[in-house]
Each structure stands twice: as structure tokens, then as C-alpha cells.
Amino acid sequence: MTHAGALPGQPRGAVGSGPATERAVNVLAPNASAMTLDGTNTWIVAEPDSDLAVVIDPGPLDEGHLRAVVDTAEKAGRRIALTLLTHGHEDHAEGAARFAELTRTRVRALDPALRLGDEGLAAGDVITTGGIELRVVPTPGHTSDSLSFHLPADRAVLTGDTILGRGTTMVAHPDGRLGDYLDSLRRLRSLTVDDGVHTVLPGHGPVLEDAQGAVEFYLAHRAHRLAQVETAVENGHRTAAEVVAHVYADVDRSLWPAAELSVRAQLEYLTEHGLI
């Protein structure tokens, strides 16, 4: 979900398919919408001298897109050896089973229902397929199964829907929880401070060059929205729909259903912390 234009962090030009870092190439899915921005970013990640690649988020069940991902890897002289999912929303994961058929790969995810193969993903796991190093970072909040992948060699992090290249994301209540999401943002901020991460490779929108600036923007935005929701409740707006109409009045109405999920998460958070 997006509420505004470009984030801080110097988005790198227009969104599209092509190399983003030395090890990451984007193949943009043709599923643009108000919710998916320009479409889903499907990431092919590989060491420069490796003939094996890892794909993160095959995207929607679109045969043309899935074959384009395979073709992109093969044109670079690589075979796709593993598929990973940041989370289970259809715009990221719907095509995973078909993609696994095309590539004869396993699909690894946090949610067992999304896995194809014996291995899942968990905090602290390190993917080393083809010599690449991808560290699994749990980032629940947008959804309970959301993961990010730290790519140390490129000082980058692939964030799925936890941080977008443009605008802000929703907390998909009741599965997503605001407290978890804030903790996840702080975890990502630690990567920028302690591990030198400076590039965000998002699930939607352009690459961001100032990862710390993007995380700080998200934290400030959440604090601002939370204060707005708290004030709205104090002024008599009791239901989530009433709060959305008051707080998100400047947001495209097509995004109000998603905004309502975030508001429900914020109301739950405020109630749990005794603030309303």
C-alpha cells in the first residue's frame, strides 16, 4: 500500500527490469495496481562468477512473467537452483508452485503451507546456494510470515513488503500486528547501523539508496499515524471506518480498505498499551 510519492533514500530512477546491484537483478511483473505500485519485483540473486541463481518472490501466476524470470537467468548463463518467498501474499507467492515446476526447484518460506520441499526458513538461516550469502531476517508485521533477506556482499537488504520503494506499506490486520512491525523496522535499522546496509531492494517500487533514511521515515510515519489515530479516537471517531475517513482523508479512496486494516492494527496496539 502506498500513501505518497517517493521515499527518502534517492530512488534509483524508474522501476523496471534489470540489474540493481552487482548480485541482484529485477524482473518486474506485469501486475501494476494501486496496491502493487508498478508491479511485483521478482529478484534474481547470484554471485557474479556463479552459474546458479536464487529467485526471491516469483510473483503472480502469470506464465509470461515466470518464463521471463527463467529466460533472464538463462541469458546470464545461470540456472535457477532455489526459490525463496518473503511472504505469502498472492502478488509475491501465487506463481511459486508453477515456477517450481518450470525450474525444478524447492520453494522455501516461513509458512509451511507455502513450502515445496522439506526445508523452511527461520531467523538466523543463511542461504549459500551457488556461493551467494543471504541471511534470513524475520520482519513480521505486514504479515506474520514476512521475512527480509540481507545480502552482505552488496550491503543490501531485500525487504518484500516491509519497506517499499515508494510510499508506505500496510499492516494487514489481524495477521499483521503493529508492535511486530515496529520491532521489524528497528531490526532493519540495526542492519543499516551495525552491518553497513545502505541499499533497499523492495518488493514493489524503485531501489532505495539510503536504507537508514527509509527506515527512519517509516518509523516517523508510523508514530505520526499512531498519534493521529489516538487523537481521532479521543475526538469521538470510534470505529476503524470512521478513523480512516478522518485520518486518511487525503489518501486515494481506493486505498481505504487497506488503510482500514492498518487502522485496526493501530487501534489494537493502542488498546493493548492502555492508550485508548
Domain membership flag for residue 50: yes
Query: If DSSP codes are grouped into helix, strand and coil, which group holds residue 226?
Result: helix
Alpha-carbon gap, residue 10 to 238, rounded angstroms: 38
pLDDT of residue 6: 53
Give the range of the structural domain holding residue 154, as residue numbers without chain letter: 18-209
Domain membership flag for residue 276: no
Q: How many domains does the chain fold into?
A: 1
Partner residues linked to 11 by β-bridges: 208
Cα separation values, 133 from 47, 53, 154, 156, 197, Å: 9, 11, 10, 11, 14
Decide if 150 contacts 191 (C-beta within 8 A).
yes
Domain membership flag for residue 229: no
Digit-by-digit pLDDT tens for the chain (276 residues) are 444 455 554 444 446 789 999 999 999 999 999 999 999 999 999 999 999 999 999 999 999 999 999 999 999 999 999 999 999 999 999 999 999 999 999 999 999 999 999 899 999 999 999 999 999 999 999 999 999 999 999 999 999 999 999 999 999 999 999 999 999 999 999 999 999 999 999 999 999 999 999 999 999 999 999 999 999 999 999 999 999 999 999 999 999 999 999 999 999 999 999 999
Query: If DSSP codes are grouped into helix, strand and coil, which group holds residue 150?
Result: strand
- Residue holding cell 542492519? 191
Decide if 2 contacts 164 (C-beta within 8 A).
yes
pLDDT of residue 2: 45
Domain membership flag for residue 272: no
Domain membership flag for residue 71: yes
Domain membership flag for residue 255: no
pLDDT of residue 15: 63
Alpha-carbon gap, residue 123 to 223, rounded angstroms: 27
Report the CATH number at residue 169.
3.60.15.10
pLDDT of residue 173: 97
Domain membership flag for residue 261: no
Specify the DSSP element, H or E, that contains 92. Answer: helix 90-93
Domain membership flag for residue 7: no
The beta-strand segments (E) located in the chain are 18-19, 24-28, 41-45, 52-56, 79-84, 107-108, 126-127, 134-138, 147-151, 156-160, 199-202
195's CB contacts (< 8 A; 6+ apart) are 150, 152, 155
